[in-house]
Structure 1
Amino acid sequence: MKTPTSLEDLIESLRCLPGVGPRSAQRMAYHLLQRDHAGAQRLANSLAYALEHIRHCEKCNNFTEEIVCELCRSERRDATLLCVVEMPADLLMMEQAHCYKGMYFVLMGRLSPLDGIGPREIHLDRLLKRAQDGLVREIVLATNFTVEGEATAHYIGELLHGKGVKVTRIARGLPVGGELEHVDSGTLAQAVIERREI
């Protein structure tokens, strides 16, 4: 029996999500069509709205509906500190740890030449410009302790060397190979407190 083309398209579309293989995508599609029409409609509307209205903040590169996000507009943040994280989930984890009161820059990835992700894809030109805005005195590198995260931190450290800003790296205390979004807030807070200069 041939599957309808629109169903094949839905299944294939769901496969773009991380960790979703052909069978999972098929189960999701069947569930949405058979058991949860309202959920499917809500998902479609939310995705369409997000694609239309969400953009990158001009200062920190995080997702926002405004030109400059609420966090970057806050006068309660320390504008002399700039923490560099890989993904928005890492920024959220830092905020939940209540250990950092500076500003952020979200790379939206990490250097991974094998995957075709170089300095341009993670907006290092924008980071360099932000680091030299006259306000920032310290860059805190909080990339993950994976091979790619370490390579990204090293590259950024070299890029900023001699640019008039102090560059620090959060301390190990996080498991090697670990990712920030999966770490408990106490461990993350300790890692930020014990950061070291590169």
Structure 2
Amino acid sequence: MAAPEIDALTQALARLPGLGPRSARRAVLHLLKRRETALVPLIAALTTVEARLATCSNCGNVDTRDPCAVCTDPRRDQTSLCVVEEVADLWALDRARLFPGRYHVLGGRLSALDGVRPEDLSIDALVGRVAGGGIDEVVLAMNVTLEGQTTMHFIADRLSSLPVRVTQLAHGMPVGGELDYLDEGTLAQALRARRPVQ
């Protein structure tokens, strides 16, 4: 039996994706055994991030500053914009260093079953960014799920009246696949083979 504080820490870790109760207990034991080299630095890092965490008002990325490092990077191509569902998708694409432009995070995908409507996502902000000019291409990098494809077609329809080329990732991605779980080779091929939305 552990102290209530240690149980609370275990339960908090168990709520993280990929960690169940057993993995959380192992992580807590590791942190307790290595207090100075693991627990103290983790607490410091969490405290710093919690104090500085910000959502980029431009693209929706999560960073410690607003606008984020991606939006303020002068080396990025300002004429191309990649639209993703979640921050994890942005990080997956950016980690592979395959897309030279900027990003826009929707904050989810349309889903009638889950009650996610267009106004629940940052679609209006996306249309506003594109309508503001200076963007030649919008790459719709939606997950290859029914909801992802529905979201992609909805956005393509909203952008159809604007003078911008709208493309999508190639369908070499596995059906039901999510960007955050794909290897860099698959992501590279999908970006290279992008084509207009039909």
Distance 1:167 1:69 in 2: 24
- Structure 1 residue ranges without an equivalent (≥5): none
The 3-state SS of whatever aligns with 1:173 is coil
Partner of 2:146: 147
- Matched-pair identity in %: 42
- Structure 2 residue ranges without an equivalent (≥5): none
Distance 1:65 1:92 in 2: 15
Distance 1:32 1:116 in 2: 40
Q: CA offset at residue 117 of structure 1?
A: 4.2
Deviation track 1:93-143 (CA, whole Å, cap 9, x = no partner) reads 333444422211123433345445444444223222222221223211012
Q: CA offset at residue 52 of structure 1?
A: 1.0
Q: Which amino acid in the other structure matches residue 190 of structure 2?
A: A
Give aligned pairs, total.
Answer: 196
Question: Judging changes above 3 Å, is the alpha-carbon distance between structure 1 residues 50 and 113 closer, same or farther for their aligned structure 2 residues?
Answer: farther
Indicate if the aligned counterparts of 2:83 and 2:103 stay in contact, CA closer than 8 A. yes
Distance 1:51 1:113 in 2: 33
Question: Judging changes above 3 Å, is the alpha-carbon distance between structure 1 residues 13 and 96 closer, same or farther for their aligned structure 2 residues?
Answer: closer
**1:51 is the counterpart of 2:61:** no
Give 1:40-189 correspondences, 5 Å limit: 40-189=39-188
Alpha-carbon RMSD across the aligned residues, in angstroms, is 2.4
Indicate if the aligned counterparts of 1:128 and 1:160 stay in contact, CA closer than 8 A. yes
**1:14 is the counterpart of 2:9:** no
Q: Which amino acid in the other structure matches residue 91 of structure 2?
A: L
Indicate if the aligned counterparts of 2:60 and 2:87 stay in contact, CA closer than 8 A. no
Distance 1:131 1:71 in 2: 17
Question: Judging changes above 3 Å, is the alpha-carbon distance between structure 1 residues 47 and 110 closer, same or farther for their aligned structure 2 residues?
Answer: farther
Question: Judging changes above 3 Å, is the alpha-carbon distance between structure 1 residues 47 and 137 closer, same or farther for their aligned structure 2 residues?
Answer: same
